[in-house]
Structure 1
Amino acid sequence: MTLKDVGYGAQERAPFAQKPFESRGRLYPEASSPTRTPFQRDRDRIIHSSAFRRLKHKTQVFVYHEGDHFRTRLTHTIEVSQIARSLARALRLDEDLAECLALAHDLGHTPFGHEGEDVLHECMAAFEGFDHNAQSLRVVTSLEQRYAEFDGLNLAWETLEGLVKHNGPLVDAQGNPLGKFAGSKLPYAIRRYQESHDLELATWPSAEAQAAAIADDIAYDAHDLDDGLRAGLFAIEDMREVPYLADILAEVDARYPGLEESRRIHEIVRRSITRMVEDVITEALKRLKEVDPQSIDDVRRADRCLVDFSPEMAVAERQVKKFLFARVYRHEDVLAVRRQVARVVRDLFAGFMQRPQDMPKPWDKGLEGCSEAALARRVCDYIAGMTDRFAIDEHRRLFDDTPELG
């Protein structure tokens, strides 16, 4: 007796949701599980991966030494997962697929947050660059080497599709790159994988993937406000500059006059999450009614994203991001640390390119006679997988002038 035999997953899902037992399968065929759907199985593989565990010590905004209460990539990922499941439940989607995509979306991030990504992209400029989303695909299809029969995690087609396309189509109908890749090439990892396993890059992903993508934005905005406030990078009153935040602040102060600051912060953050989640649900239901998709392929062929902010909330969300950019990401205290960690990544890349034998086993193997591009990709993979702490330790092992991040 299997889950499919007892009708698991047949109830309560919308016609345009991904059906758990109608997956297109895996690159390497495997027998189905009698106790888990394909997406539950994918979720479990992601959680048990080495890359997932390393998220615990990878920076979100604040480097690991700066305090125990700031978000890391792991805590951010858990928050995205919770919001994605909430959206999927409200829209009658496959919650397991939405959760799976949320859990996997940051597996390719470098140490030291976006600064690490920017510097690694700069180091790889002559070798097709670096992109954290493409690196996530590389992690789950190649770099995780745990299973006897294949490299990677051998995830379902729908999981890989959503991981790569969660922000929308990557190419137009003629195969020309779109968005940030317009006028150039798609990232190396995506192009290479596409050669063996077509992820239909010109279509929208599933509604589950769209839910995971917008959940990332909601979580990011809320927790960066929270962490920025608790780090003292700006004051609560500064949020009155943003109408959306000013309205939430007025609501909290009217209901709880004289509330202590830590509780006041939490009330602001939780209300922001609630407002954005409810807005996405309302807007998604409106768009779904207009498009009336009767299958998941109708979602893929739609002319727009179906799970997104309303136009009004999209404006408000951009204002929040603009505020965070000025007050948090470009704050001098944050920039000072970013400059230090940038040097760590540059030094590591240059050092390993000159002396690849300094990489530990098995990273140093099989490089004899390889091209400079192949060596650069190996070095890039090694550094991208590092945690903040390990990157600092590796720098101390190889150099005499490792910066103190205090």
Structure 2
Amino acid sequence: MSETAPYASRPDLSLGRLYGTGPSPTRSEFQRDRDRIIHSTAFRRLQHKTQVFLHHEGRHFRNRLTHTLEVSQIARSIARALRLNEDLAEALALSHDLGHTPFGHAGERALHRAMLPYGGFDHNVQALRVVTRLENRYAEHDGLNLTWETLEGILKHNGPLLHADGSPYGRYAEEGLPSGLDAIASPADLRLDTHASLEAQVAAVADDIAYNAHDIDDALRAGLVALEDFLDVPMAGPIVAEVLGLYPDIAVKRQTHEVQRRMITRAVENVISTSAANIAASGVASPEDVRLAGRTLVTFSPATAEAERGLKRFLFTRVYRHEAVMVPVRESEAVVERLFARYMDDPDMPGRWGQAGRAVDGPPRARIVADFIAGMTDPYALDEHQRLFDARPEFR
């Protein structure tokens, strides 16, 4: 790997870990973070958590794990081109979905509604809870004992939580800060009013790129739309027209793959050129300059960002709100809501979860129940629903 830029994060200058560890002769601190994430229980569970469409046996839709691996590949490519620390970018890409619930965004919405009387549910904060508290495999401490830079990136890869004056930033202006932040153990202040590293910003935009490409692929596989439906859609339309013009007679799955890979390539190239220009114009010369820059520097160009919003609007209307998707979405939301209500009334949860839940009531119990449900895979949530209610939704 070529020498990193002065504004890239440096593992030898890390603010460290909550619990001291000896130096590794073979790995940097960020490489160790990446490896700890990959070997965690929460990471393995991603293979059985829905991405957008509900899991059906025998279909090849993405799950959280395949999505995460795609994000990781894209993040490394962008980080390498911008001379950032690839290992930190990869660690953040691999960890960005660790706080997600079963059943994709539907499960998260349902758990957030159930948790509103207790401070709500935020998947970024939940990911921090996973890596600092809930993983319990190490002999000497709970959590994965990650570096400050990785913890910061998990929490703030989508931007700060506060403005410099202390008021909530972005979507938190309407919802308020998520609960649970005061329970996050970190080796240093996570600085809620600054941007995260460029590596964290790379992980965030890589997530968007992967989503756009694979949601088109999954929608076509599911038969919800046809390639021709994208011809007038921003971002995708010109690429679809190009592929259909070049390869009118090949199988649809080959045409789809051509569209998908060209979308990823052009989006990545756009981010690299735009971000390089943003970084140069900003004058940042260190990771601290990046945190104080006052804006996100790793971005699409304005025209591509507008086109991407148009693509998202199309996908929302024609795919995410398609009745074939909404039927299992509504049922999966109901599963999460029923489980939450049942565990709040009677914390009949296995092992340490039940013991902890029975020892408390009110908000403390709600947080334990949320931790338990958020960690479930889709099949396990259905198993629990079957056990408690003698019913198993089929999502058909």
Q: TM-score range by the shorter chain?
A: over 0.9
Name 2:386's counterpart in structure 1: 396
Name 2:346's counterpart in structure 1: 355
Name 2:69's counterpart in structure 1: 78
CA contact (8 A) 2:99 2:374 kept: yes
Change (3 A) 1:189 1:291: same
Question: Are residues 1:371 and 2:361 paired?
Answer: yes
Change (3 A) 1:26 1:195: closer
The one-letter amino acid paired with 1:381 is D
Question: Are residues 1:156 and 2:147 paired?
Answer: yes
Cα deviation 1:51-82 (Å, max 9, x = unaligned): 00000000001222254311000000000000
Deviation at 1:184, TM superposition (A): 4.8
Q: Distance in 2 between matches of 1:183 and 1:121?
A: 15
SS at match of 1:203: coil
SS at match of 1:65: coil
CA contact (8 A) 1:253 1:259 kept: no
Question: Are residues 1:276 and 2:304 paired?
Answer: no
Q: Distance in 1 between matches of 2:126 and 2:29?
A: 23
Unpaired stretches in structure 1, ≥5 consecutive residues = 1-8
Q: Distance in 2 between matches of 1:398 and 1:90?
A: 51
Change (3 A) 1:189 1:196: farther
Alignment of 1:198-217 (within 5 A): 198-217=189-208
The one-letter amino acid paired with 2:230 is M
Deviation at 1:191, TM superposition (A): 3.3
Deviation at 1:19, TM superposition (A): 1.2
Q: Distance in 1 between matches of 2:356 and 2:151?
A: 28
Name 2:22's counterpart in structure 1: 31
CA contact (8 A) 1:134 1:187 kept: yes
Q: Distance in 2 between matches of 1:261 and 1:195?
A: 49
Name 2:37's counterpart in structure 1: 46
Cα deviation 1:183-221 (Å, max 9, x = unaligned): 553212323327874111111111100000000000001
Q: Distance in 2 between matches of 1:41 and 1:299?
A: 24
Q: Answer with 211-220 or 23-32: which moved more.
A: 23-32
Cα deviation 1:136-163 (Å, max 9, x = unaligned): 1110010101111111101000000111
The one-letter amino acid paired with 2:111 is L
The one-letter amino acid paired with 2:244 is D
Name 2:87's counterpart in structure 1: 96
Name 2:301's counterpart in structure 1: 310
Q: Answer with 362-371 or 303-312: which moved more.
A: 362-371
TM-score, structure 1 normalization: 0.95
Name 2:377's counterpart in structure 1: 387
SS at match of 1:362: helix
CA contact (8 A) 1:214 1:307 kept: yes
Unpaired stretches in structure 2, ≥5 consecutive residues = none
Alignment of 1:3-402 (within 5 A): 12-65=3-56, 67-193=58-184, 197-356=188-347, 358-402=348-392
CA contact (8 A) 1:229 1:236 kept: yes
CA contact (8 A) 1:383 1:391 kept: yes
CA contact (8 A) 1:137 1:189 kept: no
CA contact (8 A) 1:344 1:402 kept: no
CA RMSD, Structure 1 to Structure 2 (Å): 1.4
Q: Distance in 1 between matches of 2:134 and 2:178?
A: 16
The one-letter amino acid paired with 2:92 is L
Q: Answer with 183-192 or 114-123: which moved more.
A: 183-192
Change (3 A) 1:227 1:39: same
Q: Answer with 364-373 or 173-182: which moved more.
A: 364-373
Q: Answer with 165-174 or 95-104: which moved more.
A: 165-174
SS at match of 1:147: coil
Cα deviation 1:83-140 (Å, max 9, x = unaligned): 0000000000000000000000000100000000000011111100111111111100
Deviation at 1:333, TM superposition (A): 0.5
The one-letter amino acid paired with 1:382 is F
Name 1:4's counterpart in structure 2: none
Q: Distance in 2 between matches of 1:197 and 1:298?
A: 18
Deviation at 1:240, TM superposition (A): 1.3
The one-letter amino acid paired with 2:165 is Q
Deviation at 1:314, TM superposition (A): 0.2
CA contact (8 A) 1:353 1:379 kept: yes
Q: Distance in 1 between matches of 2:316 and 2:192?
A: 31
Change (3 A) 1:369 1:75: closer
SS at match of 2:13: coil
Deviation at 1:322, TM superposition (A): 0.6
